[in-house]
């Protein structure tokens, strides 16, 4: 087995576990395969990271992924042994045709059904559009399993993947699509971004053209784009991922536009009318237009999934693979909790720690533990989201930020600075909840911790 074959084999193994090697990891693997030390690899390849970061973070994370994939400990000095053993074990278990794609000269094995290892069947046609390269992806196994169950067992037709900005909806959507494409049960997987606010007609035309290119068959063509789309959704099993629905939703004070109405009725159709496919929309905000669609019951074809924080271990793995940070376990844990496991907020903070605090987490915490600074893109998004609120919503957010503790609705009514009726309060609370800005627990409302920090900063508290 030569290095390229080994790399190809390892990439397939890791991809099945949801990990795609990035360039950096590929180079480290190649160097280690040739028996090079970290120092030599660092000298030979232009890696763009420090030797220390490679030895402490990127390398160990790679070996951990490999260990999980091959099922035995991996030592950098003896990389070839475990990989070749894993290869031999898999080769016993799969069809010779698949195995020989790794080793062209391999003697043919007796034909048997694949066991244990299900290699990609490449049956699913895909079109990823302008999907960002997810690169390093950490954790989220439970979320993927839950969503897959809804798609495969419950046959959900319409799924909303919801959560605050930066929590990882786009990345998770793409990763989920990759998993499903890899399994090969779907006929087509298509990913499209809605961030440029395409008109519904434009989106339908694009989807139709793509489906026509990907799938066989001659649909009975009608002038009604939706009917044409239904031909594919009913006759094939397609997964369509639409990313960033929030860009199409009217903000707090805006009127509903005709375009939005068209999208609203499209979404209702997707949930209500029978078809064989699944459409997943990621959004910061749960759309009002689908409020009448039942959801989240076990047998419902519509499902609303709120994505929560990235677990501590996964968040640390994510940061360690991208940034050169140092700190005790306690420092890492404090940092991750400070930004409530929000990957975008954590990445922005980590970049500052690396640049301004020489990577020392404790130095950053000494400055920011009490008044959390929210940096970069997530700051802009929160700023924008809060600026778009209606006046009444704004009053409630300010009140919650000022008091700074969870409150029941009756207390909010007495604490707000301008009188609100019960009906107005309920309406506003629902909208804030649906925009991922508010959290409700046991009848107590509080701002999402990141929103709380941002809003308090804005009030000078
Ligand atoms: N599971 C993850 N593993 C590694 N990085 C992640 C993960 N989830 C999110 N990120 C990082 O956080 C950033 C924001 O994630 P994204 O999916 O764009 O959030 P959202 O769509 O919810 O606003 C991404 O660019 C990526 O760098
Ligand atoms: Mg997104």
Residue 18: CA count within 13 A, CB half-sphere? 18
Q: What is the pLDDT of residue 257?
A: 75
Atom of ligand 1 nearest to the CA of 134: 26
Mean pLDDT of 216-242: 91
What's the 137 CA to ligand 1 centre distance in angstroms? 8
Residue 4 pLDDT class (50, 70, 90 cuts) = confident
Rounded to two decimals, the pTM is 0.74
Mean pLDDT of 363-383: 83
Atom of ligand 1 nearest to the CA of 307: 22
Q: Which long-range contacts (CB under 8 A, 24 or more apart) does 333-340 make?
A: 334/361, 334/365, 334/369, 335/361, 335/364, 335/365, 336/312, 337/312, 338/365, 338/368, 338/369, 338/372, 339/372, 339/450, 340/309, 340/448, 340/449, 340/450
Q: What is the pLDDT of residue 459?
A: 83
444-447 and 407-408 beta bridge pairing: antiparallel
Name which of 15-29, 103-117, 390-404 the model is least confident about: 103-117
Residue 114 pLDDT class (50, 70, 90 cuts) = very low
Cα separation, 323 vs 354, in Å, equals: 7
Q: Where are the beta strands (DSSP E) in 257-394?
A: 278-283, 302-306
Q: What is the pLDDT of residue 299?
A: 66
Q: What is the pLDDT of residues 150-168, one digit of tens each?
A: 999 889 999 999 999 999 9
The dihedral built from the CA positions of residue 280, 285, 289 and 294, taken in this order, carries a sign that is positive
**In the sheet that 438-441 helps form, which strands lie side by side, from edge to edge?**
407-408, 444-447, 438-441
Is 144 exposed, middle or buried, given 0-12, 13-18 or 19+ CB atoms closer than 10 A? middle
- Give the ligand with the smallest distance to the CA of 162: 1
Which of 87-91, 176-180, 418-422 is most confident? 176-180
Mean pLDDT of 408-425: 92
**Quick check: 119 pLDDT over 50?**
no
Ligand 1, residues at Cβ distance < 6 Å: 136-140, 163, 165-171, 310, 318, 343-344, 347
Q: What is the pLDDT of residue 295?
A: 59
Q: Do the beta carbons of residue 327 and residue 362 sit within 8 Å?
A: yes
The runs of H, that is alpha helices, within 71-199 are 80-93, 96-99, 141-152, 169-183
**Quick check: 398 pLDDT over 60?**
yes
Q: Which residue has the higher pLDDT, 318 or 136?
A: 318
- Give the ligand with the smallest distance to the CA of 244: 2
Share of the chain above pLDDT 70, in %: 90
Q: What is the pLDDT of residue 349?
A: 93
What's the 169 CA to ligand 1 centre distance in angstroms? 7
What's the 163 CA to ligand 1 centre distance in angstroms? 12
What residue owns the CA closest to ligand 1's atom 5? 137
Paired with 408 in beta bridges are 444
Residue 106 pLDDT class (50, 70, 90 cuts) = very low
| Cα 439 off chain centre by | 21
What's the 164 CA to ligand 2 centre distance in angstroms? 9
Q: Do the beta carbons of residue 451 and residue 400 sit within 8 Å?
A: no
Residue 297 pLDDT class (50, 70, 90 cuts) = low
What's the 66 CA to ligand 2 centre distance in angstroms? 29
Q: What is the pLDDT of residue 255?
A: 62
What residue owns the CA closest to ligand 1's atom 16? 168
Residue 121 pLDDT class (50, 70, 90 cuts) = very low
Q: What is the pLDDT of residues 324-364, one digit of tens each?
A: 999 999 999 999 999 999 999 999 999 999 999 999 999 99
* Main-chain phi, psi angles of 368, to 5 degrees: -105, 0
Residue 306 pLDDT class (50, 70, 90 cuts) = very high
Q: Could you tell which of 18, 136, 143, 171 is best to mutate to test the pocket of ligand 1, judged by most ligand atoms within 8 Å of the CB?
A: 171
Q: What is the pLDDT of residues 9-66, one digit of tens each?
A: 898 888 888 788 888 888 899 899 988 888 888 888 777 788 888 888 888 888 888 8
Per DSSP, 236 falls in state: S
Residue 103 pLDDT class (50, 70, 90 cuts) = very low
Atom of ligand 1 nearest to the CA of 167: 22
Residue 254 pLDDT class (50, 70, 90 cuts) = low
Q: Which residue has the higher pLDDT, 188 or 48?
A: 188
Q: What is the pLDDT of residues 444-454, one digit of tens each?
A: 999 999 999 89
Atom of ligand 1 nearest to the CA of 310: 1
- Reading the block at residue 384, the tokens are 């924008």
Residue 142: C-alpha distances to residues 20, 138, 148, 169, 451 (Å): 18, 12, 10, 14, 26
Residue 253 pLDDT class (50, 70, 90 cuts) = low
What's the 165 CA to ligand 2 centre distance in angstroms? 7
Q: What is the pLDDT of residue 288?
A: 81
Residue 111: C-alpha distances to residues 84, 99, 223, 252 (Å): 21, 11, 50, 63
Residue 113 pLDDT class (50, 70, 90 cuts) = very low
Is 80 exposed, middle or buried, given 0-12, 13-18 or 19+ CB atoms closer than 10 A? middle
Q: Which long-range contacts (CB under 8 A, 24 or more apart) does 148-152 make?
A: 148/176, 148/179, 148/180, 150/303, 150/305, 151/180, 151/239, 151/278, 152/185
Atom of ligand 1 nearest to the CA of 346: 12
- Reading the block at residue 133, the tokens are 């390269």
Q: Containing H/E element for 190?
A: strand 188-193
Atom of ligand 1 nearest to the CA of 173: 17
Q: What is the pLDDT of residue 298?
A: 56
- For all residues of the chain together, what is the average pLDDT? 86
Cα separation, 436 vs 31, in Å, equals: 45
- Give the ligand with the smallest distance to the CA of 311: 1
- Give the ligand with the smallest distance to the CA of 138: 1
Q: Which residue has the tokens 């604490």?
A: 415
What residue owns the CA closest to ligand 1's atom 15? 168
Cα separation, 63 vs 314, in Å, equals: 15
Q: Could you tell which of 168, 280, 313, 317 is best to mutate to test the pocket of ligand 1, judged by most ligand atoms within 8 Å of the CB?
A: 168
- Reading the block at residue 82, the tokens are 């475990």
**Quick check: 105 pLDDT over 60?**
no
**Quick check: 310 pLDDT over 60?**
yes
């Amino acid at each position: 087995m030569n290095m390229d074959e080994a790399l190809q084999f390892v990439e397939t193994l890791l991809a099945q576990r949801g990990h795609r090697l990035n360039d950096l990891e590929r180079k480290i693997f190649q160097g280690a395969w040739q028996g090079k030390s970290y120092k030599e690899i660092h000298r030979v390849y232009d890696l763009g990271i420090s030797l220390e970061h490679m030895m402490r973070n990127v390398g160990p994370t790679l070996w951990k992924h490999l260990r999980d994939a091959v099922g035995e400990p991996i030592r950098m000095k003896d990389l070839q042994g475990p990989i070749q053993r894993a290869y031999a074990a898999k080769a016993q278990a799969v069809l010779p045709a698949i195995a020989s794609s790794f080793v062209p000269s391999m003697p043919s094995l007796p034909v048997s059904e694949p066991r244990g290892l299900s290699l990609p069947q490449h049956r699913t046609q895909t079109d990823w559009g302008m999907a960002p390269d997810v690169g390093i992806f950490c954790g989220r196994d439970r979320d993927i399993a839950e969503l897959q169950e809804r798609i495969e067992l419950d046959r959900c037709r319409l799924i909303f993947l919801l959560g605050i900005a930066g929590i990882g909806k786009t990345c998770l959507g793409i990763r989920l699509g990759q998993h499903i494409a890899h399994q090969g049960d779907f006929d087509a997987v298509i990913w499209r971004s809605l961030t440029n606010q395409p008109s519904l007609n434009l989106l339908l035309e694009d989807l139709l053209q793509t489906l026509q290119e990907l799938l066989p068959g001659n649909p009975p063509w009608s002038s009604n784009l939706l009917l044409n789309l239904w031909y594919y959704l009913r006759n094939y099993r397609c997964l369509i991922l639409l990313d960033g629905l929030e860009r199409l939703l009217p903000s707090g004070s805006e009127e509903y536009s005709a375009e939005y109405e068209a999208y609203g009725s499209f979404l209702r159709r997707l949930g209500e009318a029978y078809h064989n496919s699944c459409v997943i929309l990621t959004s910061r905000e749960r759309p009002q237009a689908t409020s009448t669609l039942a959801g989240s019951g076990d047998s419902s074809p519509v499902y609303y999934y709120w994505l929560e924080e990235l677990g501590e271990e996964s968040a640390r793995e994510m940061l360690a693979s991208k940034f050169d940070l140092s700190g005790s376990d306690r420092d890492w844990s404090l940092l991750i909790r400070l930004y409530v496991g929000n990957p975008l907020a954590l990445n922005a903070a980590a970049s500052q720690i690396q640049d301004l605090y020489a990577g020392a987490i404790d130095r950053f915490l000494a400055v920011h533990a009490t008044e959390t600074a929210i940096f970069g893109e997530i700051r802009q998004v929160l700023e924008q989201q809060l600026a778009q609120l209606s006046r009444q919503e704004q009053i409630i957010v300010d009140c919650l930020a000022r008091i700074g503790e969870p409150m029941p609705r009756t207390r909010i009514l007495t604490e707000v600075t301008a009188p609100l009726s019960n009906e107005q309060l309920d309406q506003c609370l629902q909208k804030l909840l649906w925009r991922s800005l508010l959290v409700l627990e046991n009848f107590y409302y509080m701002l999402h911790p990141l929103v709380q920090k941002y809003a308090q900063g804005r009030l000078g508290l």
